[in-house]
Structure 1
Amino acid sequence: MQNIRESTDILMQIKELGVKTSLDNFGTGYSSLHILSKLPIDTIKIDKSFVDELGQVNQSPMIKTILELGLNLNLSIVAESIETESQLRFLRENGCVIGQGYLFSKPVKAEEFEQLIKTNDVRGFKTHPLSLS
């Protein structure tokens, strides 16, 4: 991400192959607003630090802004590390419909995940009306 021109060229080639790309840990490191508007990406993943701080003074406006920005750029938005119903409610109310975190499931081994998909058995997984997973 330090070389935007090179990153953009590579991402465009990947996009031409039909592969969708995601910018992980959005809001930290090299994921600046300047870069976001230039990269041919499909999804941003909101960094755990923002979700963890939901409910604290002055943090809600920051995550609302990230959500609005992503939605205005027609990007999919994934919230990382959702752990509480109040975090989920806030994110849903502000347009985020994809998420991951312990609220839904603890990490499982690949074999167990594969079996859950094959059998459509979601025991132990908390489900919600929206497509948060």
Structure 2
Amino acid sequence: MNPRQLVVISERRGFWAGQLRARLQDRPVIWRETRGTNDLLAAVEGWPCPIVVLDLGTQPREALERLVRLAVLCPSALVLVLDRHRHPELHDLARELGATRVWSGFAPPPNVAEVIDDWLILARHRTALAGRAALPRPEPDPGDPMALLEL
């Protein structure tokens, strides 16, 4: 059994979440959709190598600030920045701030899914190198009184 890998999609609309889930539905993935910075940071916290799809949208400054905070919290994250509105002046900056890859203009969903699929292998490898201790602990089952003793 392959351990599941975290993929976080940070976008204002749910377009990429639907596209990627449908194309990668048979992969061992934990999907999280986020709309803001706090949601994104909460989603990746404790994961040694999450995969993040960050849509710059119409507010690239806000998205880049989100990228900075993500890089501080989780410097090993694999981050794909999608820039459908083509801000070429921001691409080098996005890479400096922690983006692994920047995709400008129209991004065909099958091609984006292929990038994420390739990164799943890389992220699993990096997670394995970090060891099980680096994985977040599951929440205890409130219905199991013995689970509370493990805290």
Query: TM tier, shorter chain?
Result: 0.3 to 0.5
The TM-score normalised by the length of structure 1 is 0.45
Which structure is higher in helix share? 2
More strand by share: 2
